[in-house]
Structure 1
């Protein structure tokens, strides 16, 4: 009898291998692509966003910027890298800039850093503008998510101080609040250093396409649109409130006359969240944070009071370590196994639920969305106000490809799958938690019991774009696309 489970496991493994062989072309292609594509589209099309009187409404804060996109390896000279790659919480000189970029480049990890040296930052911008391929675009978590919601048929209220020029990047139908009438606004500029998979930087090779962002913001760290936003929200009466852009507060000099101005601003964010009626769902979009003090503020002033949290694999690991150990995680595996990500997702869900109780919140976390290069994972509590989890996971997956390839049409010749033919749902594997990936049913969903709640977890493969055109803003578009189908209309 002792040998029976082993034999069964061997037979299952053998069948998986045969199935995998069946779904591969002889020339190395992947025949799973077409059925996965068709079924993801079918799920997406099955749910349609309401229009007219039933048009859903979303309010998003805070901030906006002008993004300057540059080719990282054209701007930076690897020969000037004099020391080993390492990370810094903020950048004060050229050597730190090169070492910090190289550190994240070799890991293929997304990062966002504050440049405290304004003269250095202005010089970098000047150099970037000389490159033939540099280009300007709308930036900021809230504006990019706002534009995605608008594309999907939502009515949108956006909190941001923006110049007239930057507002031209925003569809006219989106209501923008945050500045005074005729106020002269100088847009904050973020520089997006992009690189492709397998690109070289000296002796280093990027394991995946990604971006490294630097900024020297003046408006965004202060959440300068916060108060004006609060005036407009009640009349707008949103179905969903999205909080984002708080990472701009990282390492900004907020201490003044013994006061912690950052804590004061975040307390106002908290009051804005808790003042919403129960009918308004609230979502917090994570980002690349490095300042432990700021992260600890988030665990007391934001996370206990939202219904939903969205993040990538780096941000998930960081949030989990802060909640569990009070430590910052600077970089992690850029393509984690499903089981590892789901374990961190479950643990983080329960840790935030504990925060709900500790802080006497009227809300309980009922949704988490983790987006990675290879797959999308969404967890929702059964019976909560979040609907259509499978369809939302499929839509997030399709949006990942469309955005990165910068095309609404999905070209299978520019696609690949990294998700294995089967995956375990936990690293505590007892041979009963393995899910078989079926190309004709690509979104896998199952129920679990977490924090005494019945939850549904859905995982969908991403048709990864092999010819990346855009990297910055992908997470914002993916998160917004996931939310689009989950709010009841």
Structure 2
């Protein structure tokens, strides 16, 4: 690491020690909770944007779907698991489905897979609809992020083809672009198999709440709304362009008559990004990818041309593995040390900045946001167009709790912290530590990476202990982090 962090509370005073010992426990089991909550809320309230003449504008692509939420362990029978859990890039049979689900379940890892067996997929949907707690809602990265931006006061343009029924899930203030007038649209359906922390599936127990997503999409892999969104971008003139939903291309059969349609569509995504003025910030939302060819396309056609990337800990490990070694990492630690995640963020930043130069990109990566169960970490280049990094980390943390608990109220009796009283900022130097202060929970410091000064902020998450929603959490968290960082 080039440059040591400035320690927050750099001298661990007697008062801080006294605080850590005396206030360790209260009625909620952890005396830090109340102070953490109050300061996170203070940072959020003091840094509101998105109103009046200062209302920023965001355009988002691509796609939408119906999400069918299902209790995973109610739908699937562990007795159907023949042999050991196993990873498959593409699901073709019930046996592969059960093995794949168990593989990610035992790691508590989020996953998203394409099922090429349409008949089996339809059968699973029918079975799911017979369960008493299954439910429908709108899905897709772009619509979920669009709803969050709208909720936070932004003006929103959404690129997605959807039926009238699906459009009814979208708030009235969001402008939807994608289908032709009068066009009949058949919505894609995604199955969201949710499970809670410590739930059991046969001999396996999940270390955390998460979800396994299965899809059999026809529209979303082709990015069918791309051209329509492009037609409306000049008049809309967004401050921020969000690229998402590209994981729908994962393992989809694209090649026709020797032509790689996926590469062609991604070239059009690149052109859409480059068609925007340089002061229009571009953000790429990562997801669960296993198709190496697609990932390599992303590292040449999309990632070198955006200003910002957002992802969870699994996606970060996968991205750095592809960037460094050209290999896919299917599962990573579901609760990584802060030092480990920060080192991966630094390496990702350095490699992508090299790619910016290699591909002659006028845009440079100036922001990385990684969201995990326990913390939010945001890296921004100093004096770039990204503002209020500290407040953004706080807002992302609060949004994680609110969304997963499905409430606007931060309930301390449904919260816990996983962060210790201090953490290393890198695995290379154990002397480089930041002491966690409950009254000032968001730790920020400066570093120098490849001659670029960067800010890094880490905010603890008040983890929701009674998870109501898991799918879509990352989209809401990423959008919330962006909300405070863009100025019109």
Which TM bucket (shorter chain)?
A: over 0.9
> Where has structure 1 moved over 4 Å in runs of 4 or more?
11-19
Checking the alignment, whether the CA contact within 8 Å between 2:66 and 2:166 is kept in structure 1 is yes
2:364 maps to 364
Residues 140 and 23 from structure 1, CA distance in 2 versus in 1: closer, same or farther, beyond 3 angstroms? same
Could you say which residue in structure 2 is the equivalent of 1:201? 201
Take 1:383 and 1:56, find their aligned partners in 2: how far apart are those partners?
19
Alpha-carbon deviation of 1:83? 1.4
Q: Distance in 2 between matches of 1:243 and 1:129?
A: 32
Q: Larger RCO: Structure 1 or Structure 2 (Cα < 8 Å, ≥ 6 residues apart)?
A: 2
Shift of 1:24: 1.7
Pair 1:468-2:467 in alignment: yes
TM-score, normalised by the number of residues in structure 1: 0.96
RMSD, aligned CA:
1.4
1:50: Cα distance to partner? Answer: 3.1
Which whole-Å CA distance do the structure 1 matches of 2:191 and 2:33 have between them? 35
For residue 242 of structure 2, give the secondary structure of its aligned residue in structure 1: strand
Matched, 1:106 2:98: no
Aligned to 2:269: 269
Residue by residue, what CA displacement relative to the aligned partner does 1:99-148 show, whole Å, maximum 9, x if unpaired? 00000000000000000100110010010000000000010000000000
For residues 345-424 of structure 1, the aligned pairs below 5 Å read 345-424=345-424
Q: SS of 1:82's equivalent?
A: coil
**TM-score normalised according to structure 2 size:** 0.96
| SS of aligned partner of 2:376 | strand
In structure 2, the gaps of 5 or more residues are 1-10
Aligned to 1:33: 33
Trace 1:149-168 onto structure 2 (pairs within 5 A).
149-168=149-168
Quote how far apart the aligned CAs of 1:16 are. Answer: 8.0
Q: Where does residue 482 of structure 2 map in the other structure?
A: 483
Label 1:233 to 1:203 Cα distance change in 2 as closer, same or farther (>3 A): same
CA displacement at 1:49 relative to structure 2: 1.3
Structure 1 unmatched ranges of 5 or more: 1-10
* Offset, 1:25: 1.9
Contact kept? 2:28, 2:413, Cα under 8 Å: no
Indicate yes or no: 2:119 matched with 1:119. yes
Structure 2 distance, partners of 1:54, 1:337, is 38
Query: What is the rounded CA distance, in whole Å, between the counterparts of 1:309 and 1:408 in structure 2?
Result: 26
Q: How far apart, in 2, do the equivalents of 1:381 and 1:306 lie?
A: 14
- How has the CA–CA distance of structure 1 residues 258 and 14 changed in structure 2, closer, same or farther, with 3 Å as cutoff? farther
Superposed CA offset, 1:156-195 (max 9, x none): 0000000000000000110000110010000000000000
Kindly indicate whether the alpha-carbon contact (under 8 Å) linking 2:50 and 2:152 is maintained by their aligned counterparts in 1. no
What is the CA–CA distance in structure 1 between the aligned matches of 2:14 and 2:121, rounded to whole Å? 56
In 2, Cα distance between the equivalents of 1:14 and 1:132?
Answer: 56
Alpha-carbon distance in 1 for matches of 2:313, 2:202 = 27
Counting only pairs closer than 5 Å after superposition, residues 65-84 of structure 1 correspond to structure 2 as 65-84=65-84
Count of residues in correspondence between the two structures: 478
What are the superposed Cα offsets for residues 290-339 of structure 1, whole Å, 9 maximum, x if unpaired? 00000000000000000000000000000000000000000000000000
Alpha carbons of structure 1 residues 475 and 26: separation in structure 2 relative to 1, 3 Å: closer
CA contact (8 A) 1:71 1:193 kept: yes
Can you list the C-alpha shifts for 1:431-484, whole angstroms capped at 9, x where unaligned? 1x1000000000000000012110000000000000000000000000000000
Q: CA deviation at 1:27?
A: 7.4
Report the alpha carbon displacement of residue 15 of structure 1 after superposing the two structures with TM: 9.6
Query: Offset at 1:19?
Result: 4.9
Conservation of the 8 A alpha-carbon contact between 1:16 and 1:421: no
CA deviations over 1:262-312 (Å, ceiling 9, x no partner): 000000000000111012000000000000000000000000000000000
- The residue aligned with 1:8 is none
- The one-character-per-residue Cα deviations of 1:195-247 (angstroms, maximum 9, x if unpaired) are 00000000100000000000000000000000011000000000000000000
8 Å Cα contact 1:369-1:378 kept in structure 2? yes
Report if the CA contact (8 A) 1:69-1:193 is conserved: yes
Name the SS for the 1:390 alignment partner. helix
Aligned 8 A contact 1:16 1:422 in 2: no
Q: Equivalents in 1 of 2:23, 2:111: separation in Å?
A: 36
Q: Distance in 2 between matches of 1:307 and 1:138?
A: 28
Question: Equivalent residue for 2:314?
Answer: 314
Aligned to 1:128: 128
- Distance in 2 (CA, whole Å) between partners of 1:484 and 1:447 is 22
